[in-house]
């Protein structure tokens, strides 16, 4: 980043941080209000969720770029594996189309859980590789890359079959396509002391995203009690240095699910805090 640019240009907002405007959380900001608020604070990008986009992908993508930001990513395909995964890849392919229409280069995949009738993780991971390979073939030429996101092992069973960056690397090796990589989220990987090595193995071609929040010492809800950067026990400065040290020079995305704390606040204040804490992190690390 050029010295003349503020840190915030390296920062993207994942809209989940403002409560999705769903289920009674968040202040009900429209997509346009979110874009304007991010532009006012000179952020570099926004990551949306499919349910916010509907049939307005191209319009929203253009609106973001007109405001001087990029669409950093789209969350996410439906599950690819497990009991809750759709039987066909139709919905996943529609997600690729939506990402392309938005003009973003990254579509995140939370894999889904253990395949019915199987035990353990290896069989499911092999099934995942087959399905994602088909999806990657579909995405070829669209400009959209698929980011496999390993989740904290607490989400095994029904949400994921990938638990570490090292495992995501292995599945990427099996798939062996340039448009499949890894999303690194500190909430899921902060505890992993083999992470630095796995990130180096992934390298700049494969690391497709870096997601920030914090792991609170006392996490009251595993899904919806993520901490704001600086409020928890994750060593964010070291993690950030490791990701950048592995060659990732993309944007850092803040993604905080926090039903009982941040989602209860004025989204303008939340966004101000996000920028302030990101600046504090940049004082300690590469960003």
Using CB under 8 A, list all residues that contact a copy of itself.
83, 113-114, 118-122, 152-154, 156-158, 163, 166-167, 190-194, 215-219, 222, 232-238
Q: Shortest approach of a copy of itself to residue 84 CB, angstroms?
A: 10
Question: Which residues, other chains included, contact 188 with Cβ-Cβ below 8 Å and sequence gap of 6+?
Answer: 149, 150, 151, 152, 155
3-state helix, strand, coil in the chain (%, to 5): 45, 15, 40
Of 158, 154, 161, 157, nearest to 187 (Cα)?
Answer: 154
User: Which C-beta is closer to a copy of itself: that of 144 or that of 202?
Assistant: 202
Token pair 């505890």 is found at 191
Task: Please tell me the distance from the alpha carbon of residue 278 to that of residue 265, in angstroms, as a whole number.
Answer: 18
Smaller CB distance to a copy of itself: residue 94 or 154? 154
For the beta carbon of residue 173, count every other beta carbon within 10 angstroms.
12
Nearer to a copy of itself, 52 or 167 (CB): 167
Nearer to a copy of itself, 145 or 159 (CB): 159
Decide whether 21 or 114 has the Cβ nearer to a copy of itself: 114
Q: How far is the CB of 271 from a copy of itself (least distance, A)?
A: 24
Least CB distance from residue 231 to a copy of itself, whole Å?
A: 11
Q: How far is the CB of 133 from a copy of itself (least distance, A)?
A: 20
* C-beta separation of 5 from 244 below 8 A: no
The helix/strand/coil state of 33 is: helix
Residue corresponding to tokens 């990551």? 47
Q: In sequence order, what E strands does 145-269 have?
A: 145-148, 180-185, 207-212, 252-254
Q: Which of 192, 80, 13 lies closest to 184 in space, CA to CA?
A: 192
Taking the least distance from each CB to a copy of itself, the nearer of 109 and 234 is 234
């Amino acid at each position: 980043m050029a010295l003349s640019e503020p840190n915030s240009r390296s920062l993207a907002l994942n809209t989940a941080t403002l409560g999705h405007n769903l289920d009674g959380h968040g202040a009900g900001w429209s997509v346009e209000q979110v874009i304007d608020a991010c532009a006012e604070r000179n952020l570099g990008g926004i990551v949306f969720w499919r349910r916010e986009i509907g049939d307005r992908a191209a319009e929203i993508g253009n609106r973001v770029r007109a405001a001087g930001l990029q669409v950093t990513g789209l969350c996410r395909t439906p599950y690819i594996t497990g009991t809750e995964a759709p039987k066909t890849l139709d919905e996943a392919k529609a997600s690729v189309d939506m990402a392309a229409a938005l003009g973003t280069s990254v579509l995140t995949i939370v894999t889904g859980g253990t395949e019915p009738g199987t035990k353990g993780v290896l069989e499911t991971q092999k099934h995942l590789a087959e399905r994602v390979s088909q999806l990657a073939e579909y995405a070829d030429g669209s400009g959209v890359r698929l980011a496999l996101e390993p989740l904290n092992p607490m989400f095994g069973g029904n949400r994921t079959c990938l638990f570490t960056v090292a495992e995501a690397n292995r599945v990427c090796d099996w798939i062996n396509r340039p448009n499949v990589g890894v999303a690194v989220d500190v909430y899921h990987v902060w505890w992993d002391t083999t992470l630095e090595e796995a990130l180096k193995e992934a390298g700049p071609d494969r690391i497709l995203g870096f997601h920030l929040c914090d792991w609170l010492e006392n996490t009251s809800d595993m899904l919806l009690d993520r901490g704001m950067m600086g409020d928890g026990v994750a060593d964010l400065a070291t993690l950030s240095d490791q990701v950048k040290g592995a060659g990732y020079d993309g944007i850092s995305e803040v993604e905080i699910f926090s039903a009982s704390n941040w989602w209860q606040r004025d989204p303008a204040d939340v966004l101000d805090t996000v920028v302030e804490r990101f600046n504090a992190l940049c004082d300690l690390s590469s960003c």
